[in-house]
Structure 1
Amino acid sequence: MKRDTGFPAADAESDFLRARRSQVMSRLATWLRREPDDVNIMLPFHEVVDALGMASEKRLGLQSIRLDSIVGSVDRTRDFDRRFRPTSGRVRERWQRLAQAARRGEPVPPIEVYRVGELHFIIDGHHRVSVAHALGQQTIDAYVTQVITRLNSSGIRYRGDLIVKDYRRLFLDRVPLTGESRAAVVLSDPWHYAQLGEHVEAWGFRLMQDTCQFLDRAEVARRWYADEYRPVVAMLKQADMVGDRTETEAYMWVAAERYRLIRTHRWDAEVINAVREETRAQTRTPRT
């Protein structure tokens, strides 16, 4: 909260000390709650773009953006935490000079940011953003460059989320789903995307053997989704076997069980019943 005593230099010093205390207390609370280490770390811009896949960029010019939409940085991820609180006294002199100027009502130059989806990453202006947070501002003027990526940025909260996005991007390179099918195939565990990619490629290889014709990746992806994935998911729903998993996770589970149980490529009620009975038998087996 902004506190005015009538002495901008003293107030700016108080602002900095308050921001540092808040940062230290936040780190302590994270440790006590046993939260992941990355909850207070800024998102690195280049890692985010690499995970999502760079497509293009364009300059949008000067805009007013919300401070809470700024989640990362191009190159200054160590001086400030996720909420742009100083992580040490290293930035104190410049920080207090900017805070003092802001308290005097002096104009502050716009910052520069990249926009990825709804997220913003600072190119220049880390101290200005930190001071704006400390003084309770909601928005800040910024020169915006929009970065368009192959995957959208939804679901990214912490650095660890980038792993899932990265593996999903690699999966879609191997299995180029589009439209509805692209949105429908979702996994929580990043490693499962690699397994599903191998599964679809194997399915496509068997299809080409059966039809005696070559199919490119796009056609294999289309046929797999239409002829294999959707019918299986529909049967799983009818049998109430999806549970609290995603539909794709349920599909992968039952596909693995099918091959383990009966070594066949067909899908029918008999297969589903066999999987169901095997699952019930496992739950009834007493533990030793």
Structure 2
Amino acid sequence: MADSPYPYHRAIQDFQQARRKAGLELSLARLRGKSADLIPYQEIRARLGATESGGAQLRDIPLEAIVGSVNRYTDFTRSFLPRTPSDQHRWAQVRVGIEAMTGLPPIEVYQIDQVYFVRDGHHRISAVREAGGTHIQAYVTAVNAPVSFSPSDSPDEVILRAERAAFLKETHADELLPEADLTLSAPGGYPRLAEHIAVHRYYMGVEAHRPITEEEGLIHWYHSYYLPVVRAIRIHRLLNEFPGRSETDLYLWLTEHQSELSDQLGWEISPATAARDLAQRFSRRPRRWWQRVRSALYDWILPDPLESGPPAGQWRKALLSAAPQPDRLLGHILVAVTGQPDGWQAVEYALRVAQAENAALSGLHLRSPGSDPQAVEERFLETCAQAGVPARLAVEDGPVARTICNRAQWADLVVLKLSHAPPLRLVPRLKSGMRTIIRRCPCPLLLVSEKPFDLSRVLLAYDASPKAQEALYIAAYLAARFGSELTVLCASPRLETAQIHAEKARVYLSERGIQAAYLPRRGFSAPSLLSAAAEKDPGLILMGGYGGAVLRELFFGSTVDRILPLVKQAVMICH
């Protein structure tokens, strides 16, 4: 070493400098979200289904084309800079040998298309690169792979290319569905997509009682299953919520999320509902992130009785975003199944709405001391089967109000038996679960009382407030869909104000071709509504929920609180 024209201590300095450059390369890679690691040969070979062919040949190869290693892919960076200090002595010896007249023995590599993977000679590659070399002698063993592989490709890109080729070879989707764009952006997706198609084809055969061809299964899956999910993706603009993802990426994610939600809740979840939840929970857009943070802070700081609940119209906005002109409003109904004798009335009313709307019905039973969940489920499912309504029951533990409100985000209507109306005194109001449900429920709430539920006669309490506007929207829907005889009550201490409100409702309904009777009355809302209910004897009363600030409503109550203890009809509270 002493007689070498390149001193050993200089080689040690070169190694230390190379180690510093390796640290910088790794740090920059982390900042860019990319990998600076060598590619593992065995893994890439297995994923590509590559096979070795023939013996090794000696030739010069470009150093830039060496991208991976057989067994030392964690010891060097992608640029073959050393990562471990234990390599110092061996690396320095090679660096000195480069300058010596004796030269270096050839390395051994595997070649896949345009790239190479080192089997032996890692230190030689690293030292030659640091010395400014561009090529190196190598014994090259060729490896056959079904796809191209260049030095600029990432492993994921190559694996994805191979998976797509295998998927198209298996399914012929490019030939049978030339209009379909089934592009994926991450490895592992195409095998899952092929599995979706195979499972769909299997169940088609079970239902049809005959074998289903691969062509028939693929086309039916695409039109009856894939496209409806993609429509939900487009309606909820998930490509904007998750940039960099393709529609097929989101299809796989959304269907898995939909399945997880269904398993968690114990009932079916639509693709549109799952898409809305996916965006709310996982989108990285600043607005979504702030909504999650704000919701978590409110939930942590404020007790349930002091939370303000969802803004007026949020349920309708979500519904219309999925279908601008829905053929039904109440497609999924949630009913609380107490198991008590008077609680079955709520199930009866929920079934009537489900029959009228051709809606899905989900029951929720909360365990309590002395309850028999199995008996409750058996009676619930038997009652629904007799009514011809498919239904499922979920059984949960937890606070009644919070659990119902959490479940309500997946429903279009919640049906409850009105057993305990919110009291007017402050301390009991704070403890009232019904008050918490009325304030926090994100969708319309149907409270069942003594008189039979009947959609033929509807009484709407309207004061032009945002939540009363939501009640007007539902009243118009009921009148148009079921021919309900609609009466609109507008009460105010000033008769002129009541008349203005009545005219506003009349214009709204007239534009939609709906006839109604109008009762503009001077007086406070609660007495006027009770009087109108006694006079008209409606089968349903429609009204907005709590409209004022939380503390004001808590201390002084509202029209809702003054109505519920006295009214005999079913009341639908709108948000």
TM-score (normalizing by structure 1): 0.65
Do residues 12 (structure 1) and 56 (structure 2) align?
no
Name the residue aligned to 1:188: 185
Tell which structure's C-alpha radius of gyration is larger: 2
Do residues 84 (structure 1) and 80 (structure 2) align?
yes
Name the CA shift for 1:194/1:179 in 2 (closer, same or farther; >3 Å). closer
- Deviation, 1:126, is 0.6
Name the residue aligned to 2:24: 25
- Deviation, 1:61, is 0.9
1:128 to 124, 127, 149: 124
Within 1, Cα distance between the matches of 2:173 and 2:115? 23
Residue 176 of structure 1 aligns to a residue in which SS?
A: helix
Within 2, Cα distance between the matches of 1:20 and 1:250? 41
Within 1, Cα distance between the matches of 2:255 and 2:74? 45
Within 2, Cα distance between the matches of 1:25 and 1:141? 29
Name the residue aligned to 1:35: 33
Name the CA shift for 1:255/1:212 in 2 (closer, same or farther; >3 Å). same
Name the residue aligned to 1:201: 198
Name the residue aligned to 2:276: none
Name the residue aligned to 2:297: none
Task: Please list every run of 5 or more consecutive structure 2 residues that lacks an aligned counterpart in the other structure.
Answer: 259-269, 273-319, 326-441, 443-575
Using CA pairs under 8 Å that are at least 6 residues apart, name the structure with larger relative contact order, 1 or 2: 1
Name the residue aligned to 1:97: 93
Do residues 118 (structure 1) and 162 (structure 2) align?
no
1:63 to 43, 47, 59: 59
TM-score (normalizing by structure 2): 0.36
1:75 to 51, 63, 71: 71
- Deviation, 1:201, is 1.1
**5 Å matches for 1:131-142?**
131-142=127-138
2:12 is matched by which residue type in structure 1? E
- Deviation, 1:147, is 1.6
Name the residue aligned to 1:176: 170
Question: Is 174-183 or 21-30 further displaced after alignment?
Answer: 174-183
1:97 is matched by which residue type in structure 2? Q
Within 2, Cα distance between the matches of 1:225 and 1:152? 28
Residue 40 of structure 1 aligns to a residue in which SS?
A: coil
- Deviation, 1:23, is 1.1
Name the CA shift for 1:98/1:254 in 2 (closer, same or farther; >3 Å). closer
- Deviation, 1:30, is 3.9
Within 1, Cα distance between the matches of 2:149 and 2:323? 37
2:19 is matched by which residue type in structure 1? R
Task: Please list every run of 5 or more consecutive structure 1 residues that lacks an aligned counterpart in the other structure.
Answer: 1-5, 262-275, 282-287
1:50 to 46, 49, 52: 46
- 1:4-62 Cα shifts (integer Å, max 9, x gaps): xx94125433322221221122234345x2635xx122111111112222344333512
Name the residue aligned to 2:322: 278
Question: Is 246-255 or 88-97 further displaced after alignment?
Answer: 246-255
The answer as to whether partners of 1:50 and 1:166 remain within 8 angstroms in 2 is no
Name the CA shift for 1:30/1:72 in 2 (closer, same or farther; >3 Å). same
- 1:191-229 Cα shifts (integer Å, max 9, x gaps): 6435422321134336656887546xxx61x55567875
Name the CA shift for 1:30/1:277 in 2 (closer, same or farther; >3 Å). closer
Identity among equivalent positions (%) equals: 26
Name the residue aligned to 1:271: none
